[in-house]
């Protein structure tokens, strides 16, 4: 009998163990989703939350969605929020509740609204085990297709859903979930968090309190979470003595460490928060502009060099309900592949934000101002050049006039469109930017084509001096018709032109809008095959031609004796588009400097073009009465074939008679 008795005791003991383990497992969080049936017009969100653990109610009517109840340990909120959404009569939504962090979030209309901020709840009571309670009957407006996690409740439209809850000690609940995350089955919890990729390795936040005494000289606080076995890989915070001076009402500083970074993740696939988030607060005080910054050392996975990083803080001024990361008041100190130091002069949540796609642009406001001013100057300058060349074409029949005129027209259109692209993007949106972006791209390709024509014409003067220059219609076909081919093809393909967002490094959430190519794989491919390829060919050809020009003129005395002649080489460099080569030098320690130089020179190309023609015209006027003139019509072929007597007769009808002016118009004339 003893063996049978022992077996029975084992069965009973195992039964109690199973019951106790089952009872210790709580249905931790809540994910309630449904479809809000509402009317047209203004929609609002009513929130009324208080501390306690009686439950929560989600209700809806024709114009408002309401969330009320007592499930929080620290969070209190009572307000009405205008959603500002222009939605159809059916709007899906989801409500997420995590008791371990006292975090309540609503996802509605493509927005993630944080109703209760994440916090550390050590020693508090957590509200969990939320279960579906008594619900209302059917109604024309309300919530339909209600689901809790993966369990479907009802397809009927109901005015409200009620959920009851049970309190439990937060420390006990956190320990239970930590054990489950390392050894238990977390499939269901992982499914709840999968909407944003939540990390369940460390489900709880950890906080440390520091009392700032009268002789406070600063302190270092280390996160309990580390990236490896070594404590040196943990996030550390240095609080400076200046914090004591700034705190007027309280001496207690609370540092909270989070590893569930998706709580702070934005709905933006181009940038994401890496690893730890640190919250630093002083109770009932707003502290900013510290004389000595707070130093936060983050340890993280390797950040590729192609991805830029920035130290950011959670800004609640613009919209306290949404995650809004700003670079204001923070800057990157020391950094490595797995290490980033942030220096911040205020208190809030801090982390490292990595740009996954295009890098944020440093000094975007200054660059935009320079580009706009340069474009305005270039437009005016190009108009002056067009008028000058149009008048000159009536007196002279130089082949180069058509090329100069085409380049001036293209640059005028390019700079004019670029000047207004920001305004048009903000006012017109995608519909307007579809056309403006295509026209801007066409103007850029036209400018490149005419710069290429300048290079080819110079090559023609050097190597093919005994053949006439191509007819004007050939130049116009190359300069205006050929660039239209890729532009029309890309516009027909679609999803290439539109609104482009350029994120500044100091405020990545407030990008500059412009009409250009979109940020997708199709537009990126088009950019490399058209803009980048043409730029590389143009720049390399331009430098080769500039070298050939220099070899032809460097031994001539008249060029050595006149500074204006030397300055004309810069005009040629403008014509040959070599300044666009600076765009390839945007890297290394001189990246910002090269970016500014490139911005200044390229935006002022129209002005440089006008300056060159103005210099040449001044030389002509200064030497108008000179007896030293020799004949020229600007054509190398004429100088190679005509005799001196014929040249004297031609000089009366030529555009100029000064030898230096002639050589600057055509530096390849044989002596």
Q: Which two tokens stand for residue 226?
A: 């580390």
Q: Cα–chain-centroid distance for residue 216?
A: 41
The residue behind tokens 């002649």 is 565
Strand partners, 146: 154
- What angle, 0 to 180 degrees and rounded to 10, lies between the N-to-C axes of helices 605-622 and 400-463? 80
The predicted pLDDT at position 494 comes to: 87
Alpha carbon distance 427, 424 (integer Å): 5
- Decide: helix, strand or coil at residue 644: helix
Phi, psi of 118 (to 5 degrees): -60, 145
Q: Which two tokens stand for residue 390?
A: 């149009």
**C-alpha distances out from residue 139 to 91, 135, 156, 283, Å:** 16, 12, 8, 45
- Decide: helix, strand or coil at residue 533: helix
pLDDT digits (tens, 9 = 90+) for 18-40: 334 333 344 577 889 999 998 88
Alpha carbon distance 44, 50 (integer Å): 20
Alpha carbon distance 600, 370 (integer Å): 7
pLDDT digits (tens, 9 = 90+) for 467-523: 677 888 888 999 999 999 999 999 999 889 999 888 787 666 578 889 999 888 788
**C-alpha distances out from residue 63 to 141, 260, 328, Å:** 9, 34, 37
Q: What are the strands of the beta sheet with 55-60, ordered from one edge?
A: 77-82, 44-51, 64-72, 55-60, 160-169, 125-132
Q: Which two tokens stand for residue 95?
A: 């409500």
CA-atom Rg of the chain in angstroms? 35
Strand partners, 34: 93
The predicted pLDDT at position 626 comes to: 40
Global pTM value: 0.51
Other C-beta atoms within 10 Å of 178: how many?
17
The residue behind tokens 């929020």 is 81
Alpha carbon distance 99, 96 (integer Å): 10
Q: Which two tokens stand for residue 356?
A: 């996954």
Tell me the DSSP string of 444-496.
HHHHHHHHHHHHHHHHHHHH-TTSPPPPHHHHHIIIIITTHHHHHHHHHH-SS
Alpha carbon distance 661, 670 (integer Å): 15
Residues of the chain with pLDDT under 50: 1, 3, 5, 9, 11-26, 182-201, 267, 625-671
The predicted pLDDT at position 313 comes to: 87
Are 634 and 461 a contacting pair, CB within 8 Å?
no
The predicted pLDDT at position 23 comes to: 38
Calculate the CA dihedral of residues 150, 156, 162, 167 and round it to 10 degrees. Answer: -10
Tell me the DSSP string of 296-349.
EEEE-SPPPTTS-EEEEEE--SS-TTS--EE-TTEEEEEEETTEEEEEESS-SE
- Decide: helix, strand or coil at residue 423: helix
Alpha carbon distance 48, 435 (integer Å): 48
pLDDT digits (tens, 9 = 90+) for 170-208: 777 777 766 665 444 433 333 333 333 333 345 677 888
**C-alpha distances out from residue 455 to 134, 414, 578, Å:** 81, 20, 11
56 burial type by CB count under 10 A (0-12 exposed, 13-18 middle, 19+ buried): buried
Are 546 and 576 a contacting pair, CB within 8 Å?
yes
Other C-beta atoms within 10 Å of 447: how many?
27
The predicted pLDDT at position 670 comes to: 43
Calculate the CA dihedral of residues 646, 652, 657, 662 and round it to 10 degrees. Answer: -60
The residue behind tokens 């437009």 is 379
């Amino acid at each position: 009998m003893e063996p049978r008795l022992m077996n029975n005791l084992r069965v009973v003991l195992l039964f109690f163990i199973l019951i106790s383990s089952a009872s210790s497992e709580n249905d931790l969080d809540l994910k309630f989703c449904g479809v809000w049936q509402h009317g047209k017009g203004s929609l609002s969100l009513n929130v009324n939350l208080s501390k306690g653990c009686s439950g929560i109610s989600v209700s809806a009517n024709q114009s408002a969605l309401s969330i009320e109840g007592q499930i929080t340990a620290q969070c209190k909120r009572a307000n009405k929020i205008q959603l500002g959404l222009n939605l159809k009569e059916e709007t899906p939504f989801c409500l997420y509740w995590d008791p371990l962090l006292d975090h309540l979030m609503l996802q509605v209309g493509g927005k993630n609204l944080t109703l209760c901020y994440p916090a550390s709840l050590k020693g508090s009571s957590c509200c969990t085990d939320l279960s579906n309670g008594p619900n209302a009957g059917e109604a024309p407006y309300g919530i339909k297709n209600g689901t809790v996690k993966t369990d479907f409740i009802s397809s009927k439209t109901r005015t409200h859903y009620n959920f009851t809850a049970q309190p439990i000690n937060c420390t006990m609940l956190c320990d239970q979930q930590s054990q489950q995350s390392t050894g238990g089955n977390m499939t269901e919890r992982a499914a709840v968090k999968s909407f944003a990729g939540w990390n369940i390795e460390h489900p709880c936040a950890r906080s440390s309190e520091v009392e700032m005494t009268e002789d406070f000289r600063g302190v270092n606080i280390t996160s309990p979470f580390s990236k490896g076995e070594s404590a040196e890989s943990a996030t550390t915070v240095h609080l400076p003595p200046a914090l004591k001076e700034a705190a007027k009402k309280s001496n207690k500083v609370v540092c909270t460490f989070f590893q569930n970074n998706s709580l702070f993740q934005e709905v933006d696939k181009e940038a994401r928060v890496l690893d730890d988030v640190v919250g630093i607060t002083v109770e009932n005080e707003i502290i900013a502009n510290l004389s000595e910054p707070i130093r936060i050392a983050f340890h993280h996975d390797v950040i590729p060099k192609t991805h830029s990083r920035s130290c950011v803080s959670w800004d609640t001024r613009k919209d306290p309900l949404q995650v809004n990361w700003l670079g204001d008041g923070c800057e990157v100190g020391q950094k490595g592949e797995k290490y980033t130091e942030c220096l911040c002069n205020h208190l809030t949540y801090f982390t490292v934000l990595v740009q996954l796609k295009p890098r944020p642009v440093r000094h975007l406001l200054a660059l935009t101002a320079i580009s706009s001013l340069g474009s305005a100057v270039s437009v005016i300058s190009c108009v002056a050049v067009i008028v000058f060349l149009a008048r000159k074409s009536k007196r002279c029949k130089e082949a180069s006039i058509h090329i100069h005129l085409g380049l001036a027209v293209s640059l005028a259109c390019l700079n004019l469109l670029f000047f207004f692209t920001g305004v048009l993007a903000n006012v017109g949106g995608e519909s307007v930017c579809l056309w403006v972006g295509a026209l801007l791209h066409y103007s850029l390709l036209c400018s490149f084509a005419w710069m290429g024509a300048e290079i080819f014409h110079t090559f023609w003067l050097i190597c093919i001096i005994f053949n006439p220059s191509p007819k004007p219609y050939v130049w116009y076909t190359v300069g205006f018709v050929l660039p239209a081919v890729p532009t029309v093809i890309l516009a027909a393909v679609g999803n290439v032109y539109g609104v482009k967002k350029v994120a500044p490094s100091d405020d990545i959430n407030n990008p500059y809008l412009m009409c250009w190519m979109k940020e997708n794989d199709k537009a990126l491919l088009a950019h490399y095959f058209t803009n980048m390829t043409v730029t590389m060919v143009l720049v390399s050809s331009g430098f080769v031609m500039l070298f050939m020009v220099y070899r032809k003129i460097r031994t001539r005395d008249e060029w050595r004796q006149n500074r204006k002649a030397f300055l004309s080489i810069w005009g040629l460099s403008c014509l040959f588009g070599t300044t666009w080569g600076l765009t390839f030098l945007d890297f290394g320690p001189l990246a910002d400097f090269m970016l500014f130089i490139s911005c200044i020179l390229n935006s002022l190309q129209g002005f440089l073009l006008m300056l060159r023609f103005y210099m040449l015209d001044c030389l002509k006027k200064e030497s108008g009465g000179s007896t030293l003139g020799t004949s020229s019509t600007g054509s190398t072929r004429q100088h190679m074939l005509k005799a001196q007597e014929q040249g004297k007769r031609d000089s009366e009808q030529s555009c100029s008679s000064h030898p230096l002016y002639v050589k600057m118009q055509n530096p390849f004339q044989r002596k």
